[in-house]
Amino acid sequence: MNDVAAVETRITRLAFFGRLADDLTRQVLRPENMSVSIDGVTRRALLKDDGHFAFADVEPSLTAYRLRLGGAAYQTRTVTQALPTLGPVEVTLPGEDELYVVLTGAPTPASRVSFAMRSFVRPIVTGAAVIGSDGFTATLAEPVDLVSTV
Give dist(CA 7, CA 31) in Å, integer.
Answer: 34
Q: What is the pLDDT of residues 39-83, one digit of tens each?
A: 999 989 999 998 899 999 999 998 999 999 988 888 888 999 999
* 23: region left, alpha or beta (phi > 0 left; psi from -120 to 50 alpha): alpha
For residues 56 and 86, the answer to whether their CB atoms sit within 8 Å is no
Is the pLDDT score of 107 beyond 60? yes
What does the pLDDT average to over 11-27?
82
Is CATH 2.60.40.4130 what the domain over 14-90 is classified as, yes or no?
Answer: yes
Give dist(CA 29, CA 54) in Å, integer.
Answer: 14
Q: For residue 111, what are the contacts with CB-CB under 8 A and spacing of at least 6?
A: none
Q: What is the pLDDT of residues 20-34, one digit of tens each?
A: 888 777 788 899 999
| Reported pTM | 0.57
Percent of the chain as helix, strand, coil, to the nearest 5: 5, 35, 60
**Residue that wins the pLDDT comparison between 80 and 142:** 80
Burial of 38 (0-12, 13-18, 19+ CB in 10 A): buried
Nearest to 58 by CA among 89, 26, 25: 89
For the chain, what are the domain ranges? Answer: 14-90, 98-150
Please, which residues bridge with residue 46 across strands?
54
For residues 89 and 15, the answer to whether their CB atoms sit within 8 Å is yes
